[in-house]
Amino acid sequence: MNLNEFFKAEFAEHRDVAQRTEAALASGFADLVTACAKSVQGGGKIFFFGNGGSAADAQHLATELTIRYKNNRAPIAAIALTTDTSALTAAGNDLGFEQIFARQIEALGKAGDVAIGISTSGTSPNLLAALKQARDMKLVTAGFSGKQGGTMGSVTDHLLVVPSDTTARIQEMHILLGQMLCGALEIELGLTAP
């Protein structure tokens, strides 16, 4: 393996996916920011959830909102449904793995909150179940996906599909979009200057 060629190829693919994501998702991103800001201004909260690397992204983004992103400011209500091991294992054992996020939405969600599922494929059954539960309860539903979005479009009000089939590139764009969401929310809510 020529490591220099590998290195350059990875960056080239990243740049290509970033450019295509920028071109494809500006409008959808703005709509999601507006929906999240409206929810928080109305006393709502934002739920993030996903599996594997997307679970780590969910935890990362919820922390950016509850603690801080760029500057010290008032907290923004956000919860990662991926971090409570007792809830996850109890739901998995007692209700089945497909219900680990849906059950938490049922317990903690209320109309007007925002539920954001993160899935590179858009086909994870536990994310789809949670988004369906959220929709049934009148939460705003959103998703970050890739690979043509899978079936998340049927259960989301806002869907940001990264135009790639490469899991690593999709994940890179998801964290970029997620951090952009955090930064934009701080500004939209008047918590930090643009």
Whether 193 is in a domain gets the answer no
Confidence of residue 142 (pLDDT cuts 50, 70, 90): very high
Whether 141 is in a domain gets the answer yes
- 192: pLDDT strictly greater than 90: no
Give the per-residue pLDDT at 71: 86
Average model confidence (pLDDT) for the chain?
Answer: 97
Give the per-residue pLDDT at 117: 98
Whether 126 is in a domain gets the answer yes
For residues 4-13, average pLDDT:
97
Provide the domain count of the chain. Answer: 1
Whether 194 is in a domain gets the answer no
* Residue showing tokens 């209500």: 77
As a whole-number percent, the residues of the chain with pLDDT over 70 amount to: 100
Range(s) of the domain holding residue 26:
3-188
* Residue showing tokens 């996850």: 88
- CB-CB contact of 73 with 65 (8 Å): no
- 141: pLDDT strictly greater than 90: yes
What whole-number distance in Å separates Cα of residue 34 and Cα of residue 128? 23
Strand positions, DSSP E, 4-133: 46-50, 78-80, 114-118
